[in-house]
A = this chain, B = another copy of it.
Amino acid sequence: MSFPWPEPGTPIAQIPTPMPLIDEDRLARNIARAQEYFDGCGKDFRPHVKTHKIPALALEQLAAGAIGINCQKISEAEVFADAGIDEILITYNILGAARVARLRALHDRIGGLRVTADSATTVDGLASGFDAARPLSVLVECDTGGKRCGVQTPEAAAALAERIAAAPGLRFLGLMTYPSVGGAAAVEAFFSATMALLDARGIPCPVRSNGGSPDLFKAHEVPSATEHRSGTYIYNDRAMQRAGHCGAEDLAMHVLATVVSRPAPGRAVLDCGSKALTSDLLGFSDYGRIEGHEDARITTLSEEHAVVESIGADFPGIGEQVRIVPNHTCVVTNLFDRIVFHRDGVVTRTLPVAARGTVW
């Protein structure tokens, strides 16, 4: 028996829980505001689709003015290419002959594929799968303080750029970083030092791609960056609000949940466990904020239960609904095959999370 997804016009009080809800007006405003900011500061904007994994939303981001999208996996990129999106940056080291062949197949059908690399191993693997007739564009990933992937120095970045430029199947396109929060000065220093080294070697470096949602509205503090990548800004979440990126009125995602038990004074149990909210804390001491019940704390998650403590006298009773602002939207999306959109509490559409569950 398949699940009866709510038709447009259904009040959200009638839809099943736990369920992520997206507020259409806030969504549209988040898309527009970020794009207006980047238009104003003259930088390209490339939304990261990992947050929503929904082609229809990527098309809305592109219609607003984004120059392309950012994916993390080939299989995600394939889903968005199927939706007609041509400009795709995969910010990942693609390794192994099978993956490189898959990447080549994608390159053969879209116009604007580009990837990143931070090692000679990755570059050489890519080089073996592409040829000079239609080279693959590659950016060098730089570690500007994020301490994840990335070459460690401008000298190493320039050397890897030379290796890319020398490969017949590849084209060196520029630099990419995923910085630490507040790392604008470090990004600027790394990018500008590398650009000087490349300039001295006669290697063009047209794209310098910076990223992150918490610092989205500070992208102008990195003058050398030509583009910015952000994902979470489209929905926003509790961590983005704490970071000062957005206000409560910009939170487009809530997780709708039902009170399933009021077992003891001060305690309630909701039907949204770690298989709905995830256990991402992101520095918080509880698993989400319950709208309208600021003193209540989601202290423990099991897989299908959330235990709420310190509830007030006005906390909803058994069978009633609450809305939760999740700590981190991107991982919530990834747990659901389809999510519900609404305007003022009335369903507008439901959309499959088409690029979740993909492999590679």
Q: What residues make up the interface of A, taking CB atoms closer than 8 Å to B? A: 1, 3, 14, 16, 19, 50, 72-73, 75, 78, 92-93, 95-96, 98-99, 102, 105, 118-119, 121-122, 125, 143, 147-152, 258, 260-264, 267, 269, 271, 274-275, 278-281, 300, 302-305, 307, 317-319, 330-331, 334-337, 357-360
Contacts and interface: CB of A to CB of B under 8 A. Distances in A.
Given A118-B261, A319-B96, A72 B303 contact: yes
Given A258-B96, A275-B331, A280-B279, A263 B303 contact: no
Nearest to A109: B1
Contact of A121 (B102, B118, B319, B331): B319
Contacts of A102: 1
B149 A359 contact: no
Given A50-B303, A121-B319, A275-B334, 13 more contacts: A3-B359, A50-B304, A93-B318, A119-B261, A119-B318, A121-B317, A125-B319, A151-B263, A152-B264, A274-B331, A278-B279, A279-B280, A357-B357
A166 to B, nearest CB: 20
Nearest to A96: B319
Given A261-B118, A318-B119, A305 B149 contact: yes
A99 B275 CA distance: 19
Contacts of A261: 93, 118-119, 148-150
